Structure 1
């Protein structure tokens, strides 16, 4: 399982009032990048 590289205060999802172009209550770019890295690690992709 991938370790959690998130730093204090860093958001991976957006709240009701999003701070980025992501829809409320959905992953932002940082969250999606981590999800992709986790999937790649799980399936053994470089």
Structure 2
């Protein structure tokens, strides 16, 4: 039972971190005004 709870929690945080990364990457791309930065970020994902 504990393993399932831990896995669920880990998955939730992983999803949250990915969401934050995407938002930061998008905002960073807009701020720099560089399409290349956005392309590089997309390639990393």
TM-score by length of 1: 0.41
**Bigger helix fraction:** 2
Q: Compare relative contact order (CA 8 Å, sep 6+) and give the higher one, 1 or 2.
A: 1
TM-score by length of 2: 0.42
